[in-house]
Each structure stands twice: as C-alpha cells, then as structure tokens.
Copies of this chain bind each other. A is one copy, B any other.
C-alpha cells in the first residue's frame, strides 16, 4: 500500500503525538515524519527515541508536510496553529487530536491561512501515562477516531477529509464523523464526567482526617484503585478539557449530582428497593459494553487472573 501522505508533521510530542509518529511509519501511512515540541527537553527525548526528524521551530517542522497534526493540550491549539501557520504548504491537511472540538474549531480555524484544509479530529485512545516515552504504535488499533469536518468548505475539502480518514484507518482506527457540538456532548458523558469524578474522589481521599492516606492506598484494591488509574491522566490536558467544554460538562455534572442526592436520600431513609433497582440497571449496561466489544469480559480485566 502506498503511503497516504508523503510527509507529515506532528506538533506536540506527548503520548498521542509520539504514538502517531510511531504508527505512521510502522503501518506505512507516511514516508517521513517531522516533529516539533515547544519543550526542548521533549524534543531531545523525541530525538533519542528516534521518533522522526525533530525540528527546533514549528514553521520549519511543517514545511512540505501534506498533513499537520496538532497534538497539544486543547488550550494551546490556537497558539500552536498560529506558530506554524506561515510555514504551511498550500493544500495541506491540518488536523488536531483535542478532546474538545467546538472550542478547538473556533481557536484553530481563525489562526490558519485560507489555502489549507482544517479537519478537526479526536482519537478516543490513550493510557494513564504521558509524554513521548509513553507512545506506542498500536495505540489506535481498534479505537474510535472521530472526525468533525467543518461545514461550508471549498470543493477540495471532501477529498481532504477522506484522505485523513484513510490515514487513521491505516493506523488501525475505526473512523466516525459527527458535528463538533454533538461530539462535545457525547464526550462530556463518556469521558469528561468520568474523569472529573475520578479526580474528585481521589483528591478527596487524600484530604480525609478519618482515614489515613496509607490506609486508602493499602486497601485500594477494594474499588478505589480503579479510580486512581483514570485520575493519573495528564493534568494540563484535563484542565483544558474542562475549561473548554464547560457548558456540556456542567450540564451532565448537574444531572450526576441530582441523581447522587437522590441516592443519598435513599440510603438515609433505608429505601432498599430503590437502591436495588438502580444497581440492577447499572449492571445491565456492563453487559452492553461487553457485547459491543468495548471491554473484556475477563474478571478484573484479567488483572487478577492466576499468574502461574
């Protein structure tokens, strides 16, 4: 299979940027990979890892690239686009990997020249680890890549979207398209709220006087530890998500708190049937997640399986 893009440039070499660099070459989706990161230590690390040709300047990095991927936190997408803007090749496809789409569309579209095609995107992939060392080529394998193409673009735009879709498919992803606003509402439920809840319970546990931190850690396998994994995600990335998807997050957080208050009341008043019915409903959704192939049915994700 010929490469989808001859040369790509990735701005931001964290978990996602490094994984795209590795995957693009491993699966032949690009012939050459240029990289830039605003942090000189990260650039040095990217060079040491051999992730591609590392530049000390964003404009230089994007020169001659047919695809430019903005792989920085949501809050710095606009500045990243502006920093490379004058170096972009005419007709280049520009995309991003931000977990919020409408705010990124607003910030990035304004910073780009008219002669490139901006196709916003979001790979639903990641781990709790961060940085260039955390990247690996199979990260996107069988994961969703959501594209939120812009409305009212020129005649060449649909071909640019198709080409970007082919690139992600070459990396092993399943590609879906939806509009930016819908994306932000769906992700508020499936990703942003779960992360917020996890951050909150872990930080709360650290503050308790009644139970020591070492007790929480010691007995964490009884439920708590699963939250610590999600809460280990990159704090800068998540700060930007919540600042930039505020309305959708506040809406679903309001629903969560309202339901939690009802649950609290049921506990206080000993309403066993209410509790049972709610727990039973929650259990059914696990079955749907398994049936949809979105998780493994192995107990504890196979984590506690006999090791010998």
Residues of A within 8 A of B (CB): 75, 124, 127-129, 134, 136, 138-139, 141, 143-144, 185-187, 189-208, 210-211, 213, 215-233, 235-236, 238-240, 242-243, 246, 249-253, 255-257, 259-261, 263-264, 267-268, 270, 272, 275-276, 278-283, 285-289, 292, 294-296, 299-304, 306
Q: Which 6 A-B pairs have the closest CB atoms?
A: A127-B299, A235-B279, A232-B286, A194-B223, A191-B222, A231-B282
Q: How far is the CA of A193 from the CA of B276 in the complex (A)?
A: 16
Q: Which residues of B contact A199 (CB under 8 A)?
A: 263, 278-279, 282
Q: Is A292 within 8 A of B217, CB to CB?
A: yes
**Cβ contact of A281, chosen from B186, B190, B203, B285, cutoff 8 A:** B203
Structural contact, A256 and B194, CB atoms closer than 8 A: no
Give Cα A257–Cα B261 distance, bound, in whole angstroms. Answer: 9
| Least CB distance, A110 to chain B, in whole angstroms | 20
User: Quick one: which of A211, A272, A276 has the most chain B CB within 10 A?
Assistant: A211
Q: A223-B194, A227-B194 are in contact. Are A263 and B217 (CB under 8 A)?
A: no
